[in-house]
A and B are shown apart, each in its own frame.
Chain A
Amino acid sequence: MSASWRPTASLDLLRQRASLLNCIRAFFAQRQVLEVETPLLSQATVTDLHLDSMVVELHDSKRRFLQTSPEFAMKRLLAAGSGPIYQICKAFRRDEAGQRHNPEFTMLEWYRPGFDDQLLMAEIEALVCTCAEQSDNGSSDWAVSGFERISYRDLFLSRLDIDPFAASDQQLIDLARQQTASDHLTLSRDDALNLLMAVVIEPALQAPVFVTDFPASQASLAATELTDDGHRVARRFELFIRGMEIANGYLELTDAQEQARRFAADNQRREQVGLPVQPVDEFLLAALASGLPDCAGVALGFDRLLMLISDRQRIAEVISFDDNNA
């Protein structure tokens, strides 16, 4: 299949893209959040089991990672006393291509010192609704404030009648296999939860909803806490609109030692499953040790927000050139 030289997005869509960028910048300017830029290439990268970084060679003995998100660098700015900051930048993820994925995509990420996850969710909702209203093309009837918030546990209970904390590994794995007609799949507990979330639950989340209190095993860079009924949950949330994941946020982990422990644990798991062990970002750990202000932060898929606002089904339709003709 030979790709065309022509853009995958229409020119009209590119104009909508430009006005969405303007809208976001105006939103943050009004709230006095500083726009920043951080390097796309860095010496260290994420250790996440399911995020694969791309490597760039600067010269024979010097390699850099293309960032999968600007999180580490932005946290270093926060630790240096930047105050509230946001960034609109490219992020890169190896092997991610599909209807809603492009290996190179645009991310909006922001951090709010002094905010907790609840306050940040309210701000995300304000941003999304403001920009959807301003685009005003009649396809954003979902953009009505008062987005529902539901815990991960209640979501699984209501949609699948299973408790994602109390159920055994085998119960979750069996359910995931059964729901996807795929008996052959080898799944871990978190794989099963992710599969149920992505394939069964997510498509049904049409009206905007924040899913909160993820299992601690999926905390990533979020703070965790013990609930009243004894489950450890992450102060992590995700926003879904029209069956699509739009944003992922945290009440940020500020404890350098805990962060170092999670990096090491990730790398240990990577080694077990035959993935390369990643260099740990010592700059981030040093910044955390010197003191990251209590803050909440979120990464929002800019391209996906544009897909929603313009009512497009494929990411290729909202970016100038997709992976096939870049």
Chain B
Amino acid sequence: MASFSTNEIKPGMKVLLDGDPCAIVDNEYVKPGKGQAFNRIKLRNLMNGRVWERTFKSGDSLEAADVLETDMSYLYTDGEFWHFMKTDGSFEQFPADKAAMSDALDWLKEEESYVVTLFNGNPINVMPPNFVELEVVDTDPGIKGDTAQGGSKPATLSSGAVVKVPLFVNIGDVLRVDTRTREYQNRVR
């Protein structure tokens, strides 16, 4: 497996640390004028999202991680795994376990496209698109004409997510939601 020298490591690169795949967040070069040079490297562990900071001697190298981010569309769940298929025409399918699904579970929709991170060929993380359109399956009845500001209520979406929506929203409406902030954007229909 290839490796990267601390001198060439840049944010975004994927490396192995303690066996886990990590994304480089920052690489700071530190050198006392007359002393040994060090690199302080901040990494996000892709398995659990934790950010680590480690110090290396400049010139040390880190093993590259076989990490690939691919667009895949969501197919179905069998209760234990969530199945995705590559959108490049290969029809190749990948099962993601619950740990990999933590960011996406609330925003699942069949045939929607997700970014699946593969580590050694296995899904370790599934990211939803920034915006998804989902149908409201449960909420208090809408208040007609109330399109003014102020007032919100919880609504349950078809994916199971509960988000705050304006009072005029009804069951059956399709809403556009920002998956990063869980915020209602607008009513699509």
Contacts and interface: CB of A to CB of B under 8 A. Distances in A.
- Pair from one complex: yes
Interface of A: 48-51, 95-101, 180-182, 184-186, 190-191, 193-195, 197-199, 202, 218, 220, 238, 245, 248, 299
B31 to A, nearest CB: 6
B76 interface: no
Nearest to A219: B34
A245 B32 contact: yes
Closest 9 CB pairs of A and B: A98-B29, A194-B35, A180-B55, A182-B55, A191-B36, A198-B32, A198-B30, A248-B33, A194-B32
Given A180-B55, A182-B54, A199 B38 contact: yes
B32, B34, B54, B55: which has the most chain A beta carbons within 10 Å?
B34
Nearest to A192: B36
Contacts of A101: 29, 31
Interface in B31-61: 31-38, 40, 52-59
A218 B35 contact: yes
Interface of B: 7, 28-38, 40, 52-59
B56 A197 contact: no
A194 B36 contact: yes
A197 B30 CA distance: 11
A304 to B, nearest CB: 11
Given A99-B29, A101-B29, A198-B32, A50 B37 contact: yes
Given A185-B56, A198-B32, A199-B38, 13 more contacts: A48-B34, A95-B58, A96-B29, A96-B31, A96-B37, A98-B30, A101-B31, A181-B54, A195-B38, A195-B55, A202-B32, A220-B34, A248-B33
B33 A95 contact: no
Nearest to B40: A199
18 contacts: A48-B34, A95-B7, A95-B58, A100-B29, A101-B29, A101-B31, A181-B53, A181-B55, A182-B55, A184-B54, A190-B35, A194-B36, A195-B38, A198-B38, A199-B55, A202-B32, A218-B35, A245-B33
Contacts of A199: 30, 38, 40, 55
Contacts of B54: 180-182, 184
Contacts of B33: 238, 245, 248, 299
A49 B37 CA distance: 11
B28, B55, B57, B59: which has the most chain A beta carbons within 10 Å?
B55
A248 B31 contact: no
A80 to B, nearest CB: 26
Nearest to A182: B55
A50 to B, nearest CB: 5
Contacts of B58: 95
A191 B53 CA distance: 19
B30 A51 contact: no
A50 B55 contact: no
A186 B59 CA distance: 13
Contacts of A299: 33
Contacts of A248: 33-34
A95, A100, A101, A238: which has the most chain B beta carbons within 10 Å?
A95
Contacts of B56: 182, 185
A199 B56 CA distance: 12
B59 A95 contact: yes
Nearest to A194: B35
B84 to A, nearest CB: 31
Nearest to A180: B55
A63 B57 CA distance: 29
Contact of B31 (A182, A193, A198): A198
Nearest to A214: B34
B37 A95 contact: yes
Contacts of B34: 48, 50-51, 218, 220, 248
B42 to A, nearest CB: 11
Given A181-B53, A182-B55, A185-B55, A197 B29 contact: no
